[in-house]
Amino acid sequence: MITLENVSKMYGDIPAVTNVSFAIPKGEIVGLLGHNGAGKTTIMKMLTGYLEPTEGTIRLKDMDVIAERIAVQRLIGYMPENAPLYREMTVQDYLVMMARLRGIAEDALGEAIAAAVKATGLEDWMSRPIGTLSKGYRQRVGICQAILHKPEVLILDEPTNGLDPEQIVEIRHLIRALAKTSTVILSTHILSEIEAVCDRVIIMVTGALAEDAALNDFLLSNQIIISIPASVSLSAVEALAGDGGVDGVTSVESLGADPVRGNYARYALTWRGDVPPVPEVLAHGTAQGWTFGMAADMPKGLESAFSRLMNASRDDSATAQAADTAHAADTAHAQDTATAAEEDAP
């Protein structure tokens, strides 16, 4: 239903989203998870046609989001992180205004508003000025305006941000109910929100897609993290998952340099079975002459996966920064050498 192909977005010279591709079928609740500044809001604004991608294409039901912007926006309901609410207006007046802006016919206004109000539980608040509502109910108003036209796709940016625990639970129930008739995409940096609501998780790290999988894949994943000398080749570590390796180990992923142990590298070993094969991994590595800085079974869950991806990103950034520093030093040294040679020349 929704497809992104090699989408990138630049703000001037600053990359906000880099080469992101994914597809979302009808009926899923998909969570965009990432740290602040990971590119979640930029992706959502591009999905709605509010922002144009610098590169790549976005399609909804085979329509290009930019070339057929108006037609696409008729299919989308959008609640930005800071919903455009007019505090002095009553809920009733605000929803009438938004329904008209959505192009809903006058003779259909009452029915459309009544259905959206019932879905969001606002029946007793219609005559209240929006500014007098709690934040939880203002969020409900924001969601209500997004579903007035019965959209096929509902996009919610940080829908529970700033709410108290009781309000968060209420919004979760509301999102699940709305997902019965709409594909839902929501962004958050709160892990528990994803685990409570979503079918699928897309993790963004510094503008790039770092992981895309069903929520259950994260919750049921098993990993052993090992730290071994960086001199051990990747192919030697990958042999753990091959013939003659360790039974149960299915894949090997490099996590980059170990930030704690100098000259060591970390790897994530995915395994299947009833018992983590840590002793077998240690035995295999020791037979190969490896020394282990660590070998530990990691807890299952989204938090573990997110932490691993964030740590790997920090390691990559540190490595890149060190490389840039070394390159700058080499360049400066070369320039100094050239200058000295010119001064010594007759």
62-85 tens-digit pLDDT: 999 999 999 999 999 999 988 889
Quickly count: other Cβ atoms within 10 Å of residue 292's Cβ: 15
Q: Where are the beta strands (DSSP E) in the chain?
A: 2-11, 14-24, 29-34, 55-60, 63-64, 76-79, 153-157, 183-188, 200-205, 208-214, 223-229, 249-257, 264-271, 294-298
Its pTM stands at: 0.71
Mean pLDDT confidence for 302-314: 71
pLDDT of residue 216: 79
Across the chain, what does the average pLDDT equal? Answer: 87
User: Is the domain defined by 2-218 classed in CATH 1.25.40.10?
Assistant: no
How much of the chain, in percent, has pLDDT values that exceed 90?
63
pLDDT interval class at 323 (50, 70, 90): very low
Tell me, what amino acid is at 32?
L
pLDDT of residue 230: 96
Instruction: Examine the pLDDT at 316 and tell me if it is beyond 60.
Output: no
Instruction: Examine the pLDDT at 321 and tell me if it is beyond 60.
Output: no
What is the b/e burial string over 173-197, where b = at least 16 CB atoms within 10 angstroms of the residue's CB?
Answer: ebbeebbeebbbbbbbbebebbbbb
Least reliable range by pLDDT among 126-135, 185-194, 303-312:
303-312
pLDDT interval class at 192 (50, 70, 90): confident
Mean pLDDT confidence for 265-269: 93
Instruction: Examine the pLDDT at 322 and tell me if it is beyond 70.
Output: no
pLDDT interval class at 274 (50, 70, 90): confident
220-249 tens-digit pLDDT: 668 899 999 999 999 999 999 999 999 999
pLDDT interval class at 299 (50, 70, 90): low
Say if strands 76-79 and 153-157 run parallel, antiparallel, or are unpaired.
parallel
- Write down the residue that tokens 């609740």 correspond to: 29
| Alpha carbons 212 and 19: distance in angstroms, whole number | 14
Tell me, what amino acid is at 334?
A
pLDDT of residue 337: 46
Instruction: Examine the pLDDT at 270 and tell me if it is beyond 50.
Output: yes
Instruction: Please name the CATH architecture into which domain 222-298 falls.
Output: 2-Layer Sandwich (3.30)
Domain residue spans of the chain: 2-218, 222-298
